[in-house]
C-alpha cells in the first residue's frame, strides 16, 4: 500500500479504507510485531524524511532500469559517476539535508563554493553546471516518482558557459561600518570570524586561510606574517606560494587564532558558514556579494594606493604578465605598504 496521511486515508472509498483497516487489525493481533507498519497503513505516523543521499539511492531504484537499458558496464559507470559526484559535492558543502528543506540560500552557497573552486583550480563554469544539472535531475526524478509535490529552487543557479562570474568588491565604507562594527560578527564562531577578518588585509583565498598550519603563522619578529605553502595540500599554481604581512584587524585576528583554523582545515565549509551568517545578519552589501569578495576589496585598496603591479600580484598570488626579475619587494617593504591601507 502506498503511504497516505491520516486525512487522506479518511477520504478513501469505503472498500479501500476497509482494506487498510483489515490490514491494521491483522498487524496488531497478539504476537504480531508490526505495530509501526500498522500505524503507517492508516497514516498515523510521520513519513521519514528523504535526505539528499537517500534520494540518490531511490534514484537508482527508480531510474536505473529504464535509463541504462542497452548500456554496457562502462557506460553505466559513466552514467552513475557524475550523479554520485554532484550529490557528494552538495553534501560536502551544505550537508545531507532532507530534500524538502533545501533552500535557495543553500543552493547559492553551493554555487559560491563552486565559483571559488573554478578560480582556484582553473576550471570552466561547465564543471559546476554539470553538477547542478545532475543534482536537479536526480531530485526531480525522485520527487515525481514519490509524488512529493516539492519544488527544488534551481532557477538561476547555473553559471554562464565560457564566462566566469565577476564578484563585486565590498566597499571600504561597508567593511568599516558593517563588517567591522562592534559586535557585528559575534554570532559567528571564533575560527570562522578570525578567518574572515584575516582575509580583510591579506586577500587570501578562504581555502588558503583554512589550510594554514601553526608553523605558517609567524607573529613574532619585526614583521608578523603568514606563509601560504603547499604543505598538506596543493596550491593553485607556483605563484600562490607567498608570504603576506599581517596588519590591522587581520593581525588581531591571528593573535586570537595563532594556531590557525583546524575546524576548517581541509574542509570547504568555512565559506558556506560565513556566507550564511552574513546573509542572515544583513552583512552582504548586495545579493551578489559573498565572503570571497573581501579578496577583491583588498586588491582594489592596493590599486587605489598605487602599489606596484608586481607587488600586488605577488601578494595576491597571481602570475605576472611579463618576465619576473629579481626577488620582488621585501617583506618589510610590503609591510609598510599594507600598513598604509589597513582596515
User: 69: part of which helix (H) or strand (E)?
Assistant: none
| Euclidean distance between CA atoms 310 and 327, whole angstroms | 10
Other C-beta atoms closer than 10 Å to the C-beta of 177 total 11
Return the pLDDT at 323. 52
For residue 115, is it within any domain? Answer: yes
Q: State CA 31 to chain mean position distance.
A: 50
Range of the domain at 20: 6-41
Q: Is residue 233 domain-shared with residue 113, that is, in the same domain?
A: no
Asked if residue 33 belongs to a domain, the reply is yes
- Residue 291 is classified by DSSP as T
Q: Which residues contact 25 (CB under 8 A, 6 or more apart)?
A: none
| Maximum distance among all Cα pairs of the chain, rounded to whole angstroms | 89
Looking at residue 46, what is its pLDDT?
78
Q: Tell me which residue of 167, 169, 170 sits closest to 159, measured CA to CA.
A: 167
Task: Say if residue 192 is in the same domain as residue 325.
Answer: yes
Burial 259-269 (b: 16+ CB within 10 A, else e): ebbebbbebbb
Same domain, 209 and 294: yes
Q: From CA 126, how far away is CA 162, in angstroms rounded?
A: 8
Q: Is 163 among the domain residues?
A: no
Q: Please tell me whether residues 261 and 122 are part of one structural domain.
A: no
CA nearest neighbour of 290 among 308, 278, 298: 278
Beta-carbon contacts of residue 271 (< 8 Å; ≥ 6 apart): 109, 112, 113, 116, 206, 290, 291, 292
Q: Specify whether 30 is located in the same domain as 128.
A: no
Are 125 and 177 found together in one domain?
no
* Grid cell of 18 as nine digits: 476497509
- The closest alpha carbon to 337, from 300, 295, 302, 296, belongs to 302
- Please, which residues have CB within 8 angstroms of residue 203's CB and are 6 or more apart in sequence? 244, 294, 295, 298, 299, 315, 316
Give CA–CA dist 343/328, Å, rounded: 24
Is 327 found in the same domain as 182?
yes
> Does residue 47 lie within any of the structural domains?
no
Inside any domain, residue 110: yes
**Domain at 207, CATH number:** 1.10.443
Residue pLDDT tens, the chain, 343 long:
777 888 888 899 998 989 988 888 887 777 666 677 888 888 888 777 899 999 999 999 999 888 888 777 877 888 899 999 999 999 999 999 999 999 999 999 999 889 888 877 778 888 899 999 999 999 999 999 988 889 999 988 898 875 555 678 999 999 999 999 999 999 999 999 999 999 999 999 888 898 899 999 999 989 999 998 877 665 655 667 889 999 999 999 999 999 999 998 877 678 888 988 999 999 999 988 989 899 999 999 999 999 888 888 888 876 655 554 545 678 899 999 999 999 9
Q: Which of 117, 137, 128 is nearest to 157 (CA)?
A: 128
Is residue 165 situated within a structural domain?
no
**Structural contact between residues 161 and 124, judged by C-beta atoms closer than 8 angstroms:** yes
Contacts of 307 (CB under 8 A, 6+ apart): 337, 341
Question: What is the C-alpha separation between 265 and 216, in angstroms, rounded?
Answer: 13
Report how far apart the first and last C-alpha atoms of the chain are (Å, whole number).
64
Same domain, 319 and 182: yes
Asked, for residue 162, whether it belongs to a domain, the answer is no
Could you tell me which residues come within 8 angstroms of residue 322 by beta carbon, excluding any fewer than 6 positions away? none
Of 127, 145, 163, at which residue does a domain stop? Answer: 145
pLDDT at 215: 93
DSSP string, 70-95: T--HHHHHHHHHHHHHHHHHHHHHT-
Sheet of strand 217-218: strand arrangement? 217-218, 225-228, 242-245
Q: What total number of domains does the chain contain?
A: 3
Q: Which residue has the cell 575546524?
A: 263
Is residue 177 in some structural domain?
yes
Q: Measure Cα distances from 139 to 25, 57, 88, 248, 257 in Å.
A: 36, 11, 14, 46, 40
Query: Distance (Å, rounded) from C-alpha 269 to C-alpha 211?
Result: 12
Query: Are 326 and 252 in the same domain?
Result: yes
Amino acid at each position: 500500500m502506498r503511504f497516505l496521511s491520516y486525512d487522506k486515508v479518511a477520504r478513501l472509498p469505503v472498500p479501500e479504507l476497509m482494506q487498510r483497516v483489515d490490514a491494521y487489525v491483522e498487524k496488531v493481533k497478539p504476537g504480531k510485531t508490526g505495530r509501526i507498519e500498522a500505524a503507517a497503513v492508516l497514516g498515523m505516523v510521520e513519513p521519514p524524511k528523504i535526505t539528499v543521499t537517500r534520494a540518490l539511492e531511490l534514484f537508482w531504484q527508480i531510474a536505473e532500469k529504464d535509463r541504462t537499458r542497452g548500456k554496457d558496464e562502462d557506460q553505466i559507470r559513466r552514467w552513475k559517476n557524475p550523479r554520485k559526484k554532484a550529490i557528494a559535492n552538495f553534501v560536502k558543502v551544505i550537508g545531507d539535508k532532507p530534500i524538502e528543506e533545501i533552500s535557495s540560500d543553500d543552493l547559492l552557497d553551493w554555487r559560491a563554493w563552486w565559483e571559488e573552486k573554478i578560480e582556484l583550480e582553473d576550471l570552466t563554469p561547465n564543471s559546476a553546471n554539470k553538477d547542478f544539472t545532475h543534482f536537479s535531475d536526480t531530485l526531480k526524478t525522485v520527487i515525481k516518482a514519490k509524488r512529493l509535490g516539492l519544488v527544488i529552487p534551481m532557477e538561476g543557479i547555473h553559471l554562464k558557459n565560457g564566462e566566469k562570474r565577476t564578484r563585486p568588491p565590498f566597499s571600504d565604507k561597508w567593511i568599516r561600518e558593517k563588517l567591522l562594527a562592534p559586535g557585528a560578527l559575534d554570532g559567528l564562531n571564533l575560527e570562522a570570524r578570525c578567518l574572515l577578518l584575516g582575509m580583510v588585509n591579506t586577500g587570501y583565498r578562504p581555502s588558503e586561510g583554512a589550510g594554514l598550519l601553526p608553523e605558517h603563522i609567524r607573529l613574532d619578529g619585526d614583521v608578523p606574517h603568514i606563509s601560504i605553502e603547499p604543505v598538506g595540500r596543493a596550491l593553485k599554481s607556483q605563484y600562490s606560494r607567498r608570504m603576506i604581512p599581517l596588519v590591522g584587524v587581520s593581525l588581531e585576528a591571528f593573535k586570537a587564532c595563532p594556531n590557525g583554523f583546524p575546524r576548517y582545515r581541509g574542509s570547504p565549509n568555512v565559506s558556506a558558514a560565513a556566507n550564511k551568517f552574513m546573509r542572515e545578519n544583513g552583512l552582504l552589501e548586495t545579493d551578489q556579494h559573498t565572503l570571497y569578495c573581501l579578496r577583491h576589496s583588498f586588491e582594489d585598496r592596493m590599486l587605489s594606493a598605487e602599489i606596484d603591479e608586481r607587488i600586488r600580484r605577488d601578494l595576491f598570488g597571481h602570475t605576472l604578465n611579463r618576465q619576473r626579475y629579481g626577488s620582488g619587494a621585501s617583506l618589510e617593504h610590503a609591510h609598510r605598504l599594507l600598513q598604509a591601507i589597513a582596515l
